[in-house]
Amino acid sequence: MSKRAASRKVVALVVGVAASAWISWTAAPAGAADNEIIAPGAKVELLADGFKFTEGPACDAEGNVLFTDQPNDAIHKWSVDGKLSTYMQPCGRSNGLCFDVGGNLWACADEKNQLWCISPDNKVGVAVKDYQGKLLNGPNDLWIRSDGGIYFTDPFYKRGYWNRGPSEQDVQGVYFLTPHRKNLVRVVDDLEQPNGVIGTPDGKTLYVADIKAKKTYSYAVQKNGTLGDKRLFCEMGSDGMTIDNEGNVYLTGQGVTVFSSKGRQIAHIPIDAGWTANVCFGGKDGRTLFITAKEHLFGLRMRVKGAGSQ
């Protein structure tokens, strides 16, 4: 562990004096099962802090969660036994993260607007460096389907550490990298600023948040990677996203807002730390919701578990 990581606070205290201070429910019919997604009596817990801006949590096969601290150019690991360590630093200013079935960690490496593949032994490969010979805006978030095909969003957020000019792309789009890694296809080109993205475990539906337009859409995933049947899912954008084993979709920004698979809001989890950037399920049983919010990493025990968790 680096000196910087070792100096951070790692705590296991419950934030707030009561669950009602953190968790609020949207009105729903009495007895609605989809409203009971949080474990009985569970409260949001502060797991670690002292970062600058946490992002991109992703869970590996064992339940460990990796997340980024983009301003400090680091990827950190929260292990299943509750220990914090630095996984990689520097890390190409990584933002969104996702594991594939082979245990490789894919990272939206924002420093040079690339998509990285980090092997289990920490060897870095640059999988995508441009689109049609032009720099990407800045890969932000990604989701990997079971066959290895990758969807990622490419909004333009000008960074102070960039050594480049204005955007070279004509849109802020969504891209699909084919499983054999040879073809990169732009699959969405009509959103204002796509950001969060998540797919269903069966690979049939992709959700994409247009954070600037404050809307999230669902798409039908085609076998060749293209997207069809665009539908408005909800009137809310999102920074990061995840999905649980009952099909509920979790959006972030002002805390965590949860929608059923039909697009009905069923819960809201306020996070008083400020802007909530991203969220994922992890832990040994896949029933802990990990939340990155500014300088902090939070956890919340859930009744549901992450989609695809065993």
Reported as a pLDDT band with limits 50, 70 and 90, residue 27 is very low
pLDDT tens by residue, 176-223: 999 999 899 999 999 999 999 999 999 999 999 999 999 999 999 998
What the block records as the tokens of 281 is 């399920």
Domains of the chain with bracketed CATH: 3-25+37-301 (2.120.10.30)
Q: What is the pTM of this model?
A: 0.90
Reported as a pLDDT band with limits 50, 70 and 90, residue 308 is confident
**Greater confidence, 24 or 60?**
60
Q: Give the integer Cα–Cα distance in Å for 13 and 27.
A: 29
Reported as a pLDDT band with limits 50, 70 and 90, residue 309 is low
- Which helix or strand (DSSP H or E) is residue 22 part of? none
Q: Give the integer Cα–Cα distance in Å for 113 and 127.
A: 11
| The pLDDT of residue 14 | 34
Are residues 162 and 110 in contact, defined by beta-carbon separation less than 8 angstroms? no
DSSP label of 103:
S
Are residues 269 and 255 in contact, defined by beta-carbon separation less than 8 angstroms? yes
**Greater confidence, 118 or 10?**
118
What the block records as the tokens of 30 is 């009495």
